[in-house]
Each structure stands twice: as structure tokens, then as C-alpha cells.
Amino acid sequence: MELSKKKLHALSLAEKIQVLELLDESKMSQSEVARRFQVSQPQISRICKNKEKLLADWCSGTANRERKRKRESKYSDIDEALLCWYHIARARAWDVTGPMLLHKAKELADLMGQDFVPSIGWLVRWKRRNNVGLGARHAPSSPLAPEPPPPPPPLSLKDFAPEDVFGCADVPLFYRAVPGRGGACDQVRVLLCANSRGTEKRRLLVGGRQATPRCFFGVSSEALPASYHPELGIPWVEWLAQFDRDMGRQGRRVALLLASGAVEEWASLPGLCHVRLLRLAATSTPPSLPSSVVRAFKAHYRRRLLGKLTAVQSQRGSTISLAEAGLGITVLDALHLAAAAWAKVSPQLILSSFIQEGLAPGKMPTSRDRNAALPPAPRGLSLEEFSRFVDLEGEEEPSPGPCKQETGSEDGEGRLEDGVGSLPTKTDALRALGTLRRWLEAHGAPVGIFQKFYACEEEVERLCGL
């Protein structure tokens, strides 16, 4: 005699809610309810255990009430994000189509870093799971529809750790300037960005007038000490996107301080998941980093530039002026000088500057001297003269000066004197190391400098052996 198998009867979401209502409103037992719905008693017991989840699905208004089994998607994060976008699109009366949903799902997967390619079958199951129907532009309105939840409170500095609060500034810089003289045609723009503790300084971004400076000939972009943008303006959208990707790789959520106008302009940028834009006072100039930090960077740059020009002047004799020596400074030189200057801005100065301007918690610094953060004035300049030199870009009109492209003069073999027209060989590099060491030995260089020289020598020898 063959035993007949009992047919499994699965209940829909609507029937499960009826089961819960019967158990709550009547004195029927679980076995009696099971017989009424022609299911087993353990199935009724499981419905009771999942009561809260079933009621939440029922009240959400998005669940398919005729669905009998709820199979969770492997990509639940993408499911939820796409459903959120779908509701926003319907609220804006967009005509949402299937291809549009597939494209948006792929876009969201890429933003979340998931390897996922949505298919037609996946979209059909997603629509069934979330009770989504396409075609109508406006969702039917219900007079008893619940009010939308209030928007979350705006983020503030208290929501972030001090090391996760960043400030930035777009700094104009006359990269060839000499005291009292700076030409607008020799200007670059430098983007500085650091956190409020001074423990993290972002790689510099320099925007220049030249699309392809001749001094970059033969130089790998990876070897540049700073990023270069072939326009004088800063590409904020691309920079913010890269900043967001970097923070995502580190698993961090950070705040970037900007003025009100900048926040309104960039807050709606797509894909900013890890960088939150925080609004500064309306009087701030967008974007903003403490002014003392910017001034310290420019002071270190100008001091190092003067040292370089003075050395060139002493090499060629008194026949060349500082302004003429400055014409030999290339955009590549400016990148190196800027990177060295940014490295010299101390974390202590950045921290105290953020505290002084109320952008980080801590005790107010006692010193408010405007020149306190400046390095010592170079030889031949008083502190006041050096201070005016640092603030040269603040003049209403830049002083007229020579505006010359980076061309350089040619020697008898047709090569440029500045070395742009030819690349040094391995032999040239090794010979230069020997010359530099002999010069240090002959001029009584301190012992400590040789340790740095040995590290440089070892790296050059390694590269020559490749």
C-alpha cells in the first residue's frame, strides 16, 4: 500500500496576516487555525515567530501581498539602493523603464564596488519582490497616506573625529616671483588640503597655463611630486571624486569644510559616498583652509625659491639679476618647490590654526602674531620685506614683469641649456653623484647630510641597474 504524499500548501503574505488576526482576535488554537488554512501546525508556529517582520512588510505598502515565499536577494544592498532611487524617481514623475532600472542598478553596483551585472531575470524578480509596476508616471495618492518622515538633522563637526575633518584652499602663486615683482602670466594655482590635526596632508594639485610644459619632457607622471592640471583653474569635480574614492578604499567617512556657496554647488554631485561637505560661515571664501596655513606654505615656497635663485646668481656672477635668474624656473621646478614647502608646514601649526578659527576642538593658542608662523627671513631681507614678498599675490595689480615661455637657449649641439631637449643618461647620473659627493667633501658639509646622500646614491644605483 503506497502512502500518499501530503501536498505542501504555502500561504501568501495576505493569508499570513489573516492567520495572525485570527490568533489575536479569537481563542482558536494554532492547530485549529492550521486546519482552517489546510497547513501544518509548525507552519503556523513559524508565522507567529516572524510576526513583526510580516507586519512590517504588510505596512510598508511595497511588498507583494500575493507572494508566498520571500527569497532574499544575494545583492540586498543594491536591491535597497535601487528601490530608494525608484521611489525618488516616481515622486518626481519620471517615466521609469526597465532599461533605465538595469542601467541604474549597474551604476549603483559600481559605486558600491560590487562585481554585479543585472539581467532581465534579476529585474523581474526584483520587481516581484518589491511589488514594483512600471508604466504609470504618478503613483496613486491615498487620502490616508502617512506623512513623509522628517529629514535627518544636518551633519556637524561633532559627528566626525578631528582627524577626519579636512579643509582645503585654492592658492594663487607667482611661481617665479622675486621681491617686489610678480607677473600674472607666471601664475599657477595650488590646491592645498589637510585634516584638522595636521596628521594627513593630501597630495598637491597644481593648475597651470601650459597644456604640456616642455619641462615635462621625458618625465613620468608617477614621478611628479604633485598632480598637474593643464588649466589655471582647479577641476573641483574630478578632485572631489578622487578624494571620495581614496576615502572609500580606506573605509572612512570624512568631512570637507567648504563655504556655503560651494556646498550648494557641489552637494548634489553624484557618487560622493565617503566625503561629506560641511558648510562654513557665509562670509568665508570658498573653499577655505586656515589662512595661517596657506601663508606658511607660501613663505616656505618663497624662501626656498630665493635660495635657489641666489645660488644661480652666485654661479653666473653679478651680471645676472634675481629677476633674470627667475626666468629659468620651470613649472616642474615649481612642483618640486611646492611639494617641499607643503612638507615643511608643521602639523602643530595646522592644528593650532584650525583651533584658532574654531574649526577643531581645543584650547585657543596664545600667540596670534601674523608673522609667527613664518620661517626666518632669507639673508638680505628684513622680516617686513619678507612678509610683503609672501603676500605678493594679495596686491590689487601684479607688478609688471617679464612674461617668457620656458624656452632656454641652445648650445652648439642644438640642446637646450636647461636640459629639456635631451635626457640624462645613466652615466650622467652616476657622474653627477660623484661630483656632488666631492663638492660636499670639499666644502666641509656636516656628517648628517651624507646619510641623506647615501640614500639618494643607493636609489640612483638601483635605478641604473634596472
Q: Residue 369 has what pLDDT?
A: 57
Per-residue pLDDT at 346: 94
CATH topology match: 13-60 vs 76-130: yes
CB 192 within 8 A of CB 234: no
> What's the rounded Cα separation, in Å, for the pair 277 and 166?
10
Paired with 194 in beta bridges are 167, 201
The pLDDT score that the predictor gives to residue 317 is 65
Residue 266 phi, psi dihedral angles, 5° rounding: -110, -5
The whole-angstrom separation of Cα 365 and Cα 373 is 12
What pLDDT was estimated at residue 66? 56
Helix-helix angle 98-111:76-91, to 10 degrees? 130
Q: What does the block give as the cell for 104?
A: 541604474
pLDDT digits (tens), the chain, 466 positions: 444 444 556 777 777 777 777 777 777 788 888 888 888 888 888 888 777 777 766 665 555 545 555 555 567 778 878 887 887 777 777 778 888 888 888 888 887 778 888 888 888 888 877 777 765 444 444 444 455 655 555 667 788 888 999 999 999 999 998 887 766 678 999 999 999 999 999 999 999 988 888 888 888 878 889 999 988 888 888 899 899 999 999 999 999 988 766 766 776 666 788 898 888 765 545 457 898 999 999 999 999 999 888 888 877 666 788 888 888 899 999 999 999 999 999 999 999 999 888 877 766 665 555 566 678 888 878 888 888 888 888 754 444 444 555 544 334 333 444 444 577 887 887 888 888 888 887 777 787 787 887 888 788 878 777 5
DSSP 8-state code for residue 81:
H
**Per CATH, which fold does 13-60 belong to?**
Arc Repressor Mutant, subunit A (1.10.10)
Angle at 180 between CA 193 and CA 230, to 5 degrees: 40
For residues 457 and 430, what is the distance between their CA atoms, to the nearest angstrom? 8
Integer CA distances (angstroms), 125 to 70, 74, 131, in order: 11, 12, 10
Smallest CA-to-CA distance from 228 within 243, 209, 242, 245 is with 209
d(CA 417, CA 403): 19
CATH class of domain segment(s) 76-130: mainly alpha
In terms of Cα–Cα distance, which of 391, 179, 440, 167 is closest to 284?
Answer: 167
> pTM above the 0.85 mark?
no
Number of helices (H), then strands (E), in the chain: 16, 6
Rounded to the nearest 10°, the torsion over CA 104, 106, 107, 108 is 90
Domain boundaries, the chain: 13-60, 76-130, 164-394, 426-465
E strands, 159-290, are 165-174, 187-195, 205-207, 227-229, 254-258, 275-279
DSSP 419-430: STTSPPPHHHHH
